Every structure is written in structure tokens, then in C-alpha cells.
Structure 1
């Protein structure tokens, strides 16, 4: 269900959540009663789950490019109703003690945190609710239970396809399970696999040892595919892990075979993003490159291909730039490397010399790079070096977001005196989708935007007409 906020506009565009419920008072009892009814329908199963590993990607299908719309395209700017997040758990959306916070996009899902905290009673509950990107509720985690008598809330530990890992706070010991969003089936995760988290189709877990935590991985059948022997572990590509051991990084496959030796200070994932700062804009499986970068012991950048072959690079990147934005990207079978002020291919040919004189934001995301010059103008540049759109103004542009999957980006304007003026959402044709003079709007990816209002978040969706 959606609320139309502004009608048709002339087109001009997991967080870690503590989940616990205390039974006390009518509100909590109402929620608990509803949860008991729902939990009786939950099935604890040992059936085999659909499993990865994913196969080597077809690179012709990776690295999505957002399409440029026609001039004068029109849009709707709608608030997505999240009312079901409250009512399905026995609370009312109109209750002042009810809050929706921390919305985040995980692939095809919108996840929100829900809290109910009544200062006049002991009632408190915090849980996750999962929606699709159109605002249809997929799962209310407060209605999922491992067993009768256990806590009725779960913490989402990442989502992949139909699966999520849930954490159930049960007295002094947390319990974990693999949950199928479609079939509602739960599968216990053995307690020896501590703090499991979903990472693009594998489950990374930790084990506490005398020297600290060591990390390994399970597949979606809960088979141990990597033993707990690494200081860090995350998915680097559909077939490789990025692992850290003895203060050095390397790459291993799903059989724990070393593909790239542990000789590097840093290795960037094959989606070109070292951290999760661009996770809303870069879909892991749709943005895999044939090459990535590593920083060796001599502070030299080397190129690594998808088979683990290493070659010297024709470019230099300072170490502090490896974790900023999308460092590596691939379009039309060509690989591009982002440095502070240039974008080059792997042969060292620059595609931004003619338009870039200042800051470079984000790298190529969904086919476009945001390049700012010394005069305060910003350019959207495609992978051929063509300027798709230029934004120049007497007003100071403080923020220019990357292009999302829907081809939308956001610009915050400030005066020369650094006073906030307005925020615009635009599309790649330069059409203004939405304008507001109120602070707080931010992009979530996939045409979704969030805004903090009245002690909670609201989520909006832009759709083309």
C-alpha cells in the first residue's frame, strides 16, 4: 500500500539491530498472543536449502548501466506505507510509543527496525520487518520463533535471495537459525558457529580462541566450507573469499584452497568496493569485474584477475584511496580504475582529463561517474568519457550523490554562506523529479529515499509514469 504524497510531478528523479521483547501491559500481551498464534505455524526443518556457490559470472551481463530517460519524463513521488510493520505485531501505527527506524536496502528487500517503548509501562519491543521494494511486507520477524517459550523477536544478520540469518535473544545465550522468507522454514545453526552472518550467499561465522576470534564459512546447506582459521573473512567474488591471516590478505576458494598468497596489505573485492559504503548502489552479483586491485608489501598496486593471476599495474593509487567509493569497475569488457582525480583503464588511458579538475566522487556506479571541477560544477561522465549532464550554479553544491539503479541522483544546494537552500532529485536526462526545502532526504538506492521526521523515518519511492 502506498500514500501519494505529491501526486504527479513534472519530471524535472543491516544494520545491526537489537531485538528483544518484554511482556508487560496490554500492548505487549497483545503482541505476544499474536506471536504465539503465528509461531505455531512455523516449521523447524532439516530439509536441504537451495545452495550456492554461485558460478563464474557472465561478464556481459554484469555491471548494470542505468538507462537515460526521455526529456520531460514525469514521475510520482510516493510514501511507502509501513503500517503493517506495527499492526501485525499487535501495536498501532498511531501509538506515539511506536517508531520505525533505521531503514536499509538489502538487494531486493527493504528492512526497517521497529521499536515500541512506553515510558508509562514496562512495555518494550524491538524487531525487524522486511518489505519488498514496493512496500509489500515479506516477513515480520517478531512473528518468527525458534520454539514455544523462546523470544518472539529476531535480529536480521544479512539477506540473500530467499534466505536470512536470524539471531534470537534467548536469556543469556543467543540462538541462530537460517530462515526461508518464502516457505517460512527455520533451520537451526549449531552453537559452535558463533555470530553467523549472511554474506552474499555464504554464512560467515566466528569462533572464540585464546588469540581472539577466528572466522570461517558455511554454505546454505549449513555445511562448513571454510574452517575458522582466519582473522577476517568476506566474499570477494562469486567463487572466492577475501581472507586475512597474520596481518596479510589473500584469496581462497570455497574448498579453502589458497588462490592468491597472503602477501598483501589490502585486496579490494571484485565488485570494486572495499567496504559497504556503496552497497545500496552496487548490487554484488550484477557488478563483478574480471580484475581487482591489491596493495603489496612494498606499497605497490597490482592487478589480480578472477583466476588469481597477478600482474603489475600501469597506474598508481595511494593506499588511503583504496577504500573510498568504487575503486574498480567494468563496462563493455573494459576495466576502469578510480584514483583521487582521474579514471583510467588498465592500460593507463584516462577518460576524465577533459572534464575533471577537482574531486572525484564514488567511481563508476551503475554506469556513471560524478566528477566535480574547481569551479563548483559537477559532471556526470559515462564509461566512454562522455559528459551526460552538467550541473553548474551560483549556489554551492555540497553533496552530489552517485547514480542509483533507477538512474536517479540527488543534489544538495547551499548558499555561498553555507546555509542550506534545497535538495533536488534528478534523472539522467536532467529532469527534476522532486524538490524540497527541508533537510534530511537521502538516497537508499533503487529509487528509494528516506527522511527522518518526527522521531522516526519515512520511506519514499520514485516511479516513472
Structure 2
């Protein structure tokens, strides 16, 4: 269900939210749910199809580049109806106790976060509802949780492809399961694996050990592939984990074999970012670089390739700058490094020295980088340094200039005194949508969210 928005139509991490402490009283049948919870830990609702343990390595010589549309391309700007997030749970969007608290993109899925009632109320619950990009509801995690005999506050812990990890609460406890959004197959994860979360095709879990709380990993068949022996663990590439041990980082493979020794203060993931919460526009499997960066014990930057081979570099990057935006990118088989506001190729040739740092995704994202010079001129440049779009702070002050999303769309917000204007544009400079207010926020894949009337609404752009 969609609604057309009037306007100028001319030529886009969910984090785990509060566990509902009152879920013990929010059961469809409290006496039955206790029995179901105990028995379902031992049984599988349906069998899960065999899958590969992580993304299949599909390395290319270039990261994903957003397409440039024809000049005078026209668009529709539509609101995606999220009514089913309420009605599928027996609520109403007009109910003052119901609110959509956030919306995020996970690959090809839109995930909304729902709160019902006040956190101190016995009616309170917090749950996720998943939609496809056409606005069709795919899954209500609250309903799945209730059907399995647990509380209403069913939530997800990441999505990869059609797989997600569910968190199902009961009487102050959490049970976890692997769920297929297409087949509806569900398989419980053994309780020895604490707080499991999906991470690009693997499931990272925690476990209390004698040496403290440690992390390991499961594949999508729920086989333990990395034991719980690391202080941090996350997928760095389709074949390697970034792991921390004894205050140092290294790389390990899916057999827990050390590929790069634990000698580094930091290692950037092979998609060019240190923290995936900053990478809403950087699809993991479309942006795996040939090289990444690491900071050694002597504060020297080294290059690491996908086989773990280490080579010296001439880059001097402060440790805190490794965690700001997209530090490494690769286009036409050339590697580019962002050092604060400067982007050069691997040989030191400059592409730009004016990277706009106002974006979490600053640097080259989907083939383009936002820059800002000392005169307040903003440019969108390609990897050759060519200007695709330019805008100066003359009539209006530019408050925000977003990175380019996967569909080649970006947002510019202007202000002058009490006047505010928001424009959504494409890479040919066509105005997709314009309005005399702010509040739209790109969340990837041509989707935008806006906070209105105490809850979030989601809009999408469609080329006509």
C-alpha cells in the first residue's frame, strides 16, 4: 500500500531495543507458553535448508557504483504504508499508545521498530515488523514470538539475505532462533550461545568463560566454526574474521586459523569501514576491497590483502581517523585511501583534499564523494575527481549534504533564518522531491524516513 505525496516531482541499524520487562504478562496463554518454551528449545519447528556459512566470495575489480539516470528523469515520491505494523498485532495506527520508533534498511528489507504503550505500563511491548521494498509485510516478529509461546516483544538481531536471528522474550529471559523470511523455517539456537547476532552470513555469539566474556561464531547451519575465545569478533570479508585478543587485532579464517597475527591496534574491515553502524549505504557483498588497512604497534599503517599478505605503505593516519567514514574503497582495480579530509590512490596521487566530514558515510560511497571547500562550495565528485554536482552556500546556508545511496540519490538541506528547504536529487541533478521543511533522512536504496506526529514514516522514490 502506498500514498502519493504532492510536491515537486521533476526531472537511503536497527539496534536492539529495550527488552520488555512486562512480557511475562503479555503471553497469548501464560500457562501454555511456559511449556512451549521449555519443549521448543529441544525441537526444531521446521528444518532449515543447508546454506553456505557466509557470503560467497565474488570479488570484482570495482566497488558498486550507483547509476547516473537520464537528464530530465521524472520520479514518484510515495509514502509506504506501515499500517500492517499495527493491524497485524491488533492495534491501530491512530491509537495514541502505538508508535513506530525507527526504520532501517537491511539489504532488501525494511525493518520498523514498534513501541506500544509506556515502558512502565503492563501493556508495554517493543517489537519489529519487516517489509519488502514494495511495502508488503514479510514478517511480524511479535506474532512469531507469540506463536512460539513467548512474549510480544519479538525482535531481530540482524538480517543476511533472507535469514534473520530472532530474539524471543519470556519471563525476563531471551530465546534465540534462526528464521528464514521466505520459507518461514525456524530453528532454535542452543542456549549456550549467548546473544547471537547475524553478521553478513555468520552468527556471532557470546559466552562467559573463565577468562571473561568471549565471542565466537556459528554458520547458518548452526555449526560452531569459531570458538568463544575472542574479546571482539566480526566478519571482515566473506572469508575472514576481524578478531581482538589481548588488546590487539588480527584476522582469522573460518577454521579459526590465524591469517594475520594479533599485532595491530586496529584493522579496518575489507568493505572499508571499521564500524558497520556507519555503513547503511555500503552493501557488504558489493564492496569488498582487494586491500585494507591496519595500524601496527608503532602507529604505522600497513596494507593487508585478502590472503593476509602484509605490505608497507606511505600513509600516516591517526588511529581515530580509521573509524571515521569509509577509509578504503576500490574502483577500476585501484585502491583509494581516505585520510581525514584527503583521498588519494594507493600511489599517493590526490583525488580530493576537501572531504565533507558531516556524513557518517563520508568518503567514497557508491562511487561518489561529497566535498566542501573553504568558500562553502559543496561538490559531488567521482573517483577521477570530476564534479558531478555542485552547490554553494549563497542564497541558503547548507545544513546537510548526504552521501549518495545505492539508487544514486542524495539529499541537500538548506536554511536561511527561519526558512528551511530540503531537496532530494539524482546524479544528473534532477530534482526528485522538494519541500519547505526538513526532517527527511535517507536510509538507503531510495528510501527516506521522516519523524511526523510522534512517529516515523517511510517514503520511497520510484523512477517513472
TM-score by length of 2: 0.91
Deviations 1:367-390 (A, max 9, x none): 001111000011111111111111
Secondary structure in structure 2 of the residue aligned to 1:6: coil
Partner of 1:435: 434
Q: How far apart, CA to CA, are the structure 2 residues paired with 1:44 and 1:359?
A: 48
Partner of 1:167: 167
The verdict on how the C-alpha distance between 1:298 and 1:121 changes in structure 2, with shifts beyond 3 A counting, is closer
Deviations 1:83-127 (A, max 9, x none): 111111111222222111111111111100112217998423221
Q: How do residues 99-118 of structure 1 correspond to structure 2 at under 5 angstroms?
A: 99-117=99-117
Moved more, 93-102 or 44-53: 44-53
Deviation of 1:219 after TM superposition, in Å, equals 0.1
The verdict on how the C-alpha distance between 1:81 and 1:146 changes in structure 2, with shifts beyond 3 A counting, is closer
8 Å CA contact 1:18–1:155 kept in 2: the answer is no
Deviation of 1:184 after TM superposition, in Å, equals 1.3
Q: How far apart, CA to CA, are the structure 1 residues paired with 2:48 and 2:23?
A: 33
Partner of 2:39: none
The verdict on how the C-alpha distance between 1:184 and 1:73 changes in structure 2, with shifts beyond 3 A counting, is same
Partner of 2:190: 190
Q: How far apart, CA to CA, are the structure 1 residues paired with 2:250 and 2:208?
A: 22
Moved more, 273-282 or 143-152: 143-152
Q: How do residues 123-162 of structure 1 correspond to structure 2 at under 5 angstroms?
A: 123-145=123-145, 149-162=149-162
Which ranges of structure 1 fall in alignment gaps of 5 or more residues? Answer: none
Q: How far apart, CA to CA, are the structure 1 residues paired with 2:59 and 2:326?
A: 20
Partner of 2:258: 258
The verdict on how the C-alpha distance between 1:399 and 1:111 changes in structure 2, with shifts beyond 3 A counting, is same
Q: How do residues 368-407 of structure 1 correspond to structure 2 at under 5 angstroms?
A: 368-394=368-394, 395-407=396-408
Aligned residues: CA RMSD: 2.7
Q: How far apart, CA to CA, are the structure 2 residues paired with 1:53 and 1:357?
A: 33
Partner of 2:443: 444
8 Å CA contact 1:201–1:220 kept in 2: the answer is yes
Deviations 1:30-85 (A, max 9, x none): x889x99xx9xx9713445423333332314x511111112221111110000111
Q: How far apart, CA to CA, are the structure 2 residues paired with 1:290 and 1:200?
A: 18
8 Å CA contact 1:43–1:185 kept in 2: the answer is no
8 Å CA contact 1:19–1:155 kept in 2: the answer is no
Which ranges of structure 2 fall in alignment gaps of 5 or more residues? Answer: 37-42
Number of aligned pairs?
451
Partner of 1:453: 452
Partner of 2:54: 53
Q: How far apart, CA to CA, are the structure 1 residues paired with 2:458 and 2:170?
A: 31
8 Å CA contact 1:15–1:104 kept in 2: the answer is no
Deviations 1:298-333 (A, max 9, x none): 001111111101111122222221111100000111
Q: How far apart, CA to CA, are the structure 2 residues paired with 1:65 and 1:300?
A: 31
8 Å CA contact 1:275–1:323 kept in 2: the answer is yes
The verdict on how the C-alpha distance between 1:146 and 1:338 changes in structure 2, with shifts beyond 3 A counting, is same
Deviations 1:160-198 (A, max 9, x none): 111111111111321111111112121111111000000
Deviations 1:346-376 (A, max 9, x none): 11111226xx487685111000011110000
Q: How far apart, CA to CA, are the structure 2 residues paired with 1:137 and 1:52?
A: 27
TM-score by length of 1: 0.91
Secondary structure in structure 1 of the residue aligned to 2:63: coil
